[in-house]
Amino acid sequence: MTNKTLSKAALTAAICAVSGGTFSSGAMAAGFALQESSAAGLGRAYAAENTVGDTVGILARNPAGSALFDTITVSGGFNYVNPEIDAAGYTQYFAETPIGDIALTDPIYQEANDYASGAFVPFGFVAVPIDDCWSFGLSANADYGLETDFKPTWAVTHIADKTELLTVNIAPSIAYNYQDVFSIGVSANFLYADATLKSKVPRDFALDPALQQPLSDAKILDASGDDWDYGWSIGALWNISDRTRIGISYQSEFDPKIKADVNSDLLTSVTTELPFDNERADLTLDLPDTAEIGLYHRFNNEWGLALGATWTDWDDFERLEAFFPNQDINGQPFPGYNPLHIKEENFKSGWRYSLGLEYYPCDEVTWRVGYAYDEGAARDGLYTEETDRVGRDVTWRTLSIPDNDRHWVTFGGSYEFSNQLSIDGGVAYLWGDDSKIQEFSSLPVSFPTPAGTATALNTYFDGGTTNLEAWIAGVGLNYSF
């Protein structure tokens, strides 16, 4: 068995790790999105976050929000997301021979506990009134992001290992206010995405004794890269009365092309047949467009209600493909590389529904509670074509994307030190149901078996998630000049 024998198969497995790990639910929102754009909004489960406008954080959801502020106002802070995702199941390896699959190991039971890492999610906003009609806004927050990290002895680290994804959305905006009744705003959105992706053969690989060349801990993929992309947002606010406001907003999709430098012990160039050493690879991420509607109503001096619904167009995220621009021969794409079909994700669009209740016991204090139901983007059921091909059940939902419907319960409050300075705080608990996960991978590795030479090494995982929950805590400061 040579490095060249493994190259194409390892590449497929490695990039599959990119598709899984990069987009796992460590973000603790549908797919791999983040909701955490303010601390005040956290307390009411981000209900009507594009409408309430109690902080400049509204600019993360609605560019018309700057029209609500009469003086230059800034807001900044962070949320800390601490997810806990656990999975467990049986992994079994097979040799694909002329007479069919032969089991090389008994099913190996393993648990992967707390493999989604915690992270700080900062945010910052400013609203600047220009005159009675026009205002300017600037927002900076993270729309997507996560970190997952499996132990090196996890039996399928060639499918899911360590990945990091960071995004920052910087959005200057302009808004027009018509007689304090109706306002409309637009923004230009500039998204920066940075990814680090690692995949390798499991440590203490169970099949090393059967192979001519031990593979334990061999680096399959070590890639890092970044890219900028741009989009736009539009939003409107309608003050129906002094107590009631409706907001509606839309954010366009993003399609950043991550330009990565790839290093590997096993992936080899089709032109030099040497292992990849800072080899260029492009990976396009189809990030969804979103639409949000919110209603805020203040019943009296003591109570207020926020209702919100957000639609996310995850249907755009159908599959992942990678391009290696230098892996052409005589100007023609090398078969299997450009594009390299990685994985069918087949995400589904969904809704997030939220309800927030606010209590104002005095002018300085606000208390908030909230609930939200967040529909997951991972599709239920079997990946029928793959199930038919391999003769085993294969689910759409994968180990690295244990995305499922989630419930949020939240609590928070604000305190005004003066007419200029206030502080917000919030905490949330999230949980989702366990789900079945079954995955199959095949590496075309040749090695001898009693039934003849094997043409592939197959891996099958049968298990699921055993825990899906998170705690989020946030704090923010607001200042008006």
Domain coordinates in residue numbering, the chain: 3-480
Rounded to whole angstroms, how far apart are CA atoms 303 and 258? 47
Nearest to 165 by CA among 229, 119, 124, 113: 119
Predicted local confidence at residue 443, as pLDDT: 74
Over the stretch 399-411, which tens digit does the pLDDT of each residue have?
Answer: 877 889 999 999 9
- β-pairing verdict for 145-149 and 134-141: unpaired
Task: Give the fold, CATH level 3, of 3-480.
Answer: Porin (2.40.160)
Nearest to 259 by CA among 329, 317, 319, 323: 323
Phi, psi (degrees; rounded to nearest 5) at 12: -60, -45
Predicted local confidence at residue 214, as pLDDT: 79
Triad 113, 153, 273: Cα angle to 5°? 130
Nearest to 341 by CA among 356, 323, 328, 358: 323
Predicted local confidence at residue 25, as pLDDT: 40
Q: Is the peptide bond before 129 cis (omega within 30 degrees of 0)?
A: no
Predicted local confidence at residue 3, as pLDDT: 38
Predicted local confidence at residue 24, as pLDDT: 39
Predicted local confidence at residue 29, as pLDDT: 62
Using the structure block, give the residue that is written with the tokens 């039996």.
155
Separation in Å, CA 458 to CA 91, 97, 455: 10, 11, 10
Instruction: Pick out the chain residues at pLDDT < 70.
Output: 1-31, 333-337, 342, 444
Over the stretch 200-227, which tens digit does the pLDDT of each residue have?
Answer: 888 888 888 777 777 788 887 788 889 9
Cβ-based neighbour number of residue 4 at 10 Å: 11
